[in-house]
Structure 1
Amino acid sequence: MHDALHLVRTRRFMPIFVTQFLGAFNDNLFRTAMVMLVIYGIYGDAEQEATFSAIAGGLFILPFFLLSALSGQLADANDKAFIVRIVKTAEIAIMLVGAAGLLLHNIPLLLAALFAMGVHSTFFGPIKYAILPQHLERDEVLGGTGLVEAGTYIAILGGTILGGLLVLQRPDGSFHAEYAAVAVLVVAILGRFAGGLVPPAPPSDDAELPGLPTRGMDWHIIRASVTLVSGTLHVRRLYLAIVAISFFWAMGAVLAAQFPPLVKNGLSSDQTVATMFLAIFSVGVAIGSVLVNWLLKGEVSARYAPFSALFMGVFVLDLFRRVRHWPTHAGGLHDIQTFLTVPNSWMVVVDLLGVAIAGGMFVVPLYAFLTTTVPKSETARTIAANNIVNSGFMVAATLILTVAVQLGVTVADSLLIVAVGSMLAAWLGWKLHVACD
């Protein structure tokens, strides 16, 4: 990347990078193991499977909507490194519950741990971006953001692959996840160790953004959320960036929720193919994150956002077309080798990779924009406001998806929702480019 790899050799970047990496890895290790266990080992009905995937996605997102205002206030009012240590300690306790759910095949325990991991990510989310402009120089922030985003999706790739591989099938056909239960605990402990190495990041005293409340805690979550969002969105450039990012995450929520049931019921393939799809998506976003930083040469700009979103839509539409015309299969589910022998299967892979690369190119500069155009004293609350709006869009998208599935809309047809969203994201990206570049 453009003059950014030197950051991995510095303590001001590497510990937070590794902490974020392990957190994303564990999120996806647990979520993938849970989904694979439930979809392939517990449920046997397509509608139940699609509904479970949508509900699980919504449960993980809901804490971002409810608690982001508190997380942003805490991060701006306290040493961010101290918050990191508390959050990573909590992850160990959460994964004890999650491991029990995996061992016992207990869906309520699994969903409780998933919700708690959403709370964990809600409080860590503002810090991972807000700490960068505090520890990095301005011309390093885009590169650092790109590295964090690329690292996140490489971690998603690793966690996704491992989560899929550690859900094993016994000779009698049943599935078990003992190794996954051990793995989530080990990664949580490693994450706590890395978090302990993050250097201090005390509250900043620079000028505050007009419209946001002065630093302090408002524990009323509804009032705090409304105040935070209204105080941020009245600034046009922030409004456009946040809404554009929200469309991206809403589309991502629909895709991520539907990958396993899409693979099983739309493409007649097994969990190894579902894992491959999630892995391809993760690699693609990482590539896009690196590519856009190279194209922009460290400049924080939205100039590539509209084109990236349009390409996302084109690839999604082609994916929809290919899934709709996928040949019927009367035998068992395809494994990866068999799947790749089906006509046009490689074009499905290309479409997924294209969607992901375009997505990475779209979203990384927008996050860098959020953290570099506000005072350092407000970065965590700005990211928290972004997370509230993002989560609102994502919850709305998963609710729409759940209702659509209940009304008989197929998993393949749900891809059209993503295509429409990408067109709107392209328009918002263009408006932001015109307003700020």
Structure 2
Amino acid sequence: MTPTFRLLAKRRFLPLFVTQFLGAFNDNLFRTAMIMLVIYKIYNDPAREAAFSAVAGGLFILPFFLFSAMAGQLADSHDKARIIRIVKTAEIAIMVVGAAGLILQNVPMMLVALLSMGAHSTFFGPIKYAILPQHLEDDQVLPGTGLVEAGTYIAILAGTITGGIIASEHAAIGVLLVAALGWFAGRQVPTAPPMTSDARVDFHVVRSSIRLVSDTMHVRRLFLAILAISFFWAQGTILAAQFPPLVKNVLGAKQDVATMFLGIFSVGVAIGSIAINRILKGAVSARCSPLAALVMGAFVCDLWWTSHHWPDPQGALRGLSDFMAMPNAERVLLDLLGVAVAGGIFVVPLYAFLTTTVAKAQTARTVAANNIVNSGAMVTATLLLAGLVHVGVSVAETLLMVAVGSVGASFLAWRLHKACD
């Protein structure tokens, strides 16, 4: 078993890790800075603000539906390192537009940049997992996947917090600098030539997407792994969407408490993502995932119970210190941490499973198919959540939906473990 953090000293891994970390950081720095600018300075209408948030979310995820199949084909049929360099060069151009939008307070320019960053992430996404089996030994793929997942969540947290506290002009400079650093790091990634001589790519986005998902999902082990991962992302989408209203309307606390929730969740997933390598001793296996999903559900249930019996908010919203003085505040935070750690333990072996149980010539396409299905699961979860809230289901009660989803995720992971381990 390779110790997880030792991989950060290897040139086969460190440049990729830094590149993906900076990309995730920049995505969230720009997106958060844009949302803060539009909501607090440009618009002053709740209806327009809500519409903007919906449009922004849809634009960022749209490229995952449209271009994931193409991204997977390109990554499997061309040098992955070369594609990384092209994508990171494109990021600089995209962020020039985004920075100009932030400085000029031009909403269409910012939305064009956001859509383009979604496409950037779509083409980079399959590579960051699929390149690992080429650059790492078999017993290094699991810790490498854990580090990528952990780094992504820490980058999301750091980018979100940074984008929320700095001025838009400073954010404009920041996204350009980070894009330039990402370009430099991407050029250090070692070559990863295609493992197949077939360089054909189907550029018909609908046909290629349907064919890719169909070809991947008919393989039973991949079907089970992708569905289990999709359950995780659907649950995470609901939890992330419910943090602000849960903190404000149920727990009666301010925005700094919501930020702390996001921080604990991100750090927890990172801890679980790294710990699973030690638990499994470097072996790629789904044997821990069923229990991890049930543990995740148990913590969600306890979070619902605590929230359900929380005193009704009265008067001004509580700051961080006042919130921590409340009875059961530590229990809420422990529940949140438990959900996140169990989630990291659950999902990382499944991602490693996707890239190690198929031929190396097919890894990027497999990850791309997973990204398409995951995106659909996140959209479905968002629509379901919106429908439940519309018919009067409380914020605390929607947590029970996440707990039920944990049972489904556990069942799928158990089926995968029985079939393959």
TM-score over 0.5 for the pair: yes
Q: Is the 8 A contact 1:164 1:272 kept in 2?
A: no
**Matched residue SS, 2:377:** helix
Separation in structure 2 between the aligned mates of residue 180 and residue 332 of structure 1, nearest angstrom: 31
Q: Is the 8 A contact 1:50 1:405 kept in 2?
A: no
Deviation by residue 1:281-318 (Cα, 9 ceiling, x = unmatched): 11000100111110000000000101111111111122
**Residue aligning to 2:302:** 318
Query: What pairs up with 1:56-205 in 2 under 5 angstroms?
Result: 56-103=56-103, 108-166=108-166, 177-205=168-196
| Structure 2: gaps of 5 or more residues | none
Q: Is the 8 A contact 1:49 1:261 kept in 2?
A: no
Residues 353 and 379 from structure 1, CA distance in 2 versus in 1: closer, same or farther, beyond 3 angstroms?
Answer: same
**Residue aligning to 2:233:** 249
Q: CA deviation at 1:35?
A: 4.5
Q: Is the 8 A contact 1:71 1:122 kept in 2?
A: yes
Residues 299 and 384 from structure 1, CA distance in 2 versus in 1: closer, same or farther, beyond 3 angstroms?
Answer: same
Q: CA RMSD in A?
A: 2.5
Residues 339 and 389 from structure 1, CA distance in 2 versus in 1: closer, same or farther, beyond 3 angstroms?
Answer: same
Separation in structure 2 between the aligned mates of residue 102 and residue 259 of structure 1, nearest angstrom: 27
Separation in structure 1 between the aligned mates of residue 336 and residue 157 of structure 2, nearest angstrom: 14
| Structure 1: gaps of 5 or more residues | 167-175, 207-213
Q: Is the 8 A contact 1:28 1:160 kept in 2?
A: yes
Q: CA deviation at 1:398?
A: 1.5
**Matched residue SS, 2:396:** coil
One-letter code of the match for 1:181?
Answer: A
One-letter code of the match for 1:162?
Answer: T
**Residue aligning to 1:236:** 220
Aligned length: 421
Q: CA deviation at 1:51?
A: 7.1
Deviation by residue 1:231-274 (Cα, 9 ceiling, x = unmatched): 11111111100110111111112222332343333333333222
Q: CA deviation at 1:91?
A: 1.8
Separation in structure 2 between the aligned mates of residue 88 and residue 29 of structure 1, nearest angstrom: 16
In the superposition, the TM-score normalised over structure 2's length comes to: 0.92
Residues 101 and 277 from structure 1, CA distance in 2 versus in 1: closer, same or farther, beyond 3 angstroms?
Answer: farther
Deviation by residue 1:66-101 (Cα, 9 ceiling, x = unmatched): 210010011111111111112112222333343344
Separation in structure 2 between the aligned mates of residue 75 and residue 182 of structure 1, nearest angstrom: 31
Residues 237 and 151 from structure 1, CA distance in 2 versus in 1: closer, same or farther, beyond 3 angstroms?
Answer: same
Residues 254 and 273 from structure 1, CA distance in 2 versus in 1: closer, same or farther, beyond 3 angstroms?
Answer: same
Work out whether 1:18 is the aligned partner of 2:18.
yes
**Matched residue SS, 2:12:** coil
Q: Is the 8 A contact 1:254 1:398 kept in 2?
A: yes
Q: CA deviation at 1:358?
A: 0.6
**Residue aligning to 1:382:** 366
One-letter code of the match for 1:195?
Answer: G
Q: CA deviation at 1:109?
A: 4.5
Q: Is the 8 A contact 1:54 1:258 kept in 2?
A: no
**Equivalent of 1:227 in 195, 211, 215:** 211
Deviates more, 1:303-312 or 1:106-115: 106-115
Separation in structure 1 between the aligned mates of residue 401 and residue 52 of structure 2, nearest angstrom: 19
**Residue aligning to 1:169:** none
Work out whether 1:267 is the aligned partner of 2:258.
no
**Matched residue SS, 1:413:** helix
Residues 35 and 388 from structure 1, CA distance in 2 versus in 1: closer, same or farther, beyond 3 angstroms?
Answer: same
Q: CA deviation at 1:116?
A: 2.4
Work out whether 1:366 is the aligned partner of 2:350.
yes
Separation in structure 2 between the aligned mates of residue 325 and residue 263 of structure 1, nearest angstrom: 14
**Equivalent of 2:337 in 346, 349, 353:** 353
Q: Is the 8 A contact 2:33 2:171 kept in 1?
A: yes
Separation in structure 2 between the aligned mates of residue 47 and residue 2 of structure 1, nearest angstrom: 52
Separation in structure 2 between the aligned mates of residue 324 and residue 50 of structure 1, nearest angstrom: 27
